[in-house]
Structure 1
Amino acid sequence: MTGSTPQTLSTNRTQSGDVHRLEVIHVEGDAYSVDIREHRLHVDQPLEAGGTDTAPTPTELFAASLATCVAFYAGRYLHRHGLPQAGLRVRTEFTMATDRPPRVTSPRLAIVPPPELPEQRRAALLAVASHCTVHNTLHQPPEIDIEVEP
């Protein structure tokens, strides 16, 4: 970790619920580390984009966040109903917009259920998984504040 406590952002917006904090720190070139609780992730850019390709891009982590959230909700559904989770996978692909602003378009996710999942459970699995927190956030986007600290 960084050894320092991240400063609280000076937003005037009223916060609802628990505030979660993380900190992104420049490493070198286009590489950054992300401290989240007691975990550290890394991001970089591919060689063709000027990076050193030492880690996924922020955009890839965005897609991974959506996919892992869907997988988590699907896994919890299976666990709650005493169904096996072994073999559960979520495949994801996305495209980038060809116009401005740069953004992800058309993320597609495919839940690959465990082979033993009864056919009558598949619709419920899809319904539960499609209500994950990241998916909900994309459907009801938050107000995002970006500021430069003094």
Structure 2
Amino acid sequence: MSGSAPQTLDTDRTGSMDVHRLEVVHVEGDAYTVDVREHRLRVDQPLEAGGTDTAPTPTELFAASLATCVAYYAGRYLHRHGLPQTGLRVRTEFTMASDRPPRVASVRLVVVPPPELPERRRAALLAVASRCTVHNTLHQPPEVDVELEP
């Protein structure tokens, strides 16, 4: 971490007591670090976009966030039912929209269950995995405010 406490927003617009905070800090060029709790991630842009390609892009992390959330929910389902998680994978691909504004147009996730998963559990696994927090958020988008600090 940076050694200094991250700045906090002065108001909680959601009214919720469960506020999660992170901070993004410029490193160089198009590279940034993201401090999340006691973890640090890096983002960058590919060479063809002007970056140095030292890390995934924010859009790739967006897709990765969805894929890992689906994997987590699938894994928890397997764990709850005493089923093996070994071999569980989620393959993901996304496409960008060709018009404006720039955005992800589609995301395809393929849950690859463990080879030992009984056939009768496959539909339930998919149903649970499809209801992960990130997926739910995409279906019911949050209010997003972008502000400039005074």
Return the TM-score normalized by structure 1. 0.97
Is the 2:71–2:89 contact (alpha carbons within 8 Å) kept by the matching residues of 1?
yes
Q: Give 1:81's aligned residue.
A: 81
Q: In structure 2, what is the Cα distance between the partners aligned to 1:15 and 1:28?
A: 35
1:10-68 CA-partner distances (Å, limit 9, x unpaired): 44623324101100000000000000011000000000000000000000000000000
Q: Does 1:9 align with 2:19?
A: no
Is the 1:78–1:85 contact (alpha carbons within 8 Å) kept by the matching residues of 2?
yes
Q: In structure 2, what is the Cα distance between the partners aligned to 1:11 and 1:62?
A: 26
Q: Give 1:105's aligned residue.
A: 105
User: What SS class does the counterpart of residue 5 from structure 1 fall into?
Assistant: coil
Is the 1:91–1:112 contact (alpha carbons within 8 Å) kept by the matching residues of 2?
yes
Measured at CA, do residues 65 and 14 of structure 1 come closer, stay the same or move farther in structure 2, by a change above 3 Å?
closer
User: What SS class does the counterpart of residue 56 from structure 2 fall into?
Assistant: coil
Pairing of 1:1-150 with structure 2 (within 5 A) = 1-11=1-11, 13-150=13-150
Question: Structure 2 regions of 5+ residues with no counterpart?
Answer: none
Is the 2:74–2:128 contact (alpha carbons within 8 Å) kept by the matching residues of 1?
yes
Measured at CA, do residues 74 and 17 of structure 1 come closer, stay the same or move farther in structure 2, by a change above 3 Å?
farther
Q: In structure 1, what is the Cα distance between the partners aligned to 2:14 and 2:116?
A: 46
Is the 2:74–2:125 contact (alpha carbons within 8 Å) kept by the matching residues of 1?
yes
CA shift for structure 1 position 117: 0.2
Amino acid at match of 2:7: Q
1:123-150 CA-partner distances (Å, limit 9, x unpaired): 0000000110000000000000110112
User: What SS class does the counterpart of residue 110 from structure 1 fall into?
Assistant: strand
Question: Structure 1 regions of 5+ residues with no counterpart?
Answer: none
CA shift for structure 1 position 105: 1.1
Identity %: 85
Q: Name which of structure 1's ranges 16-25 and 100-109 shifts more when overlaid on structure 2.
A: 16-25
Q: In structure 2, what is the Cα distance between the partners aligned to 1:96 and 1:125?
A: 28
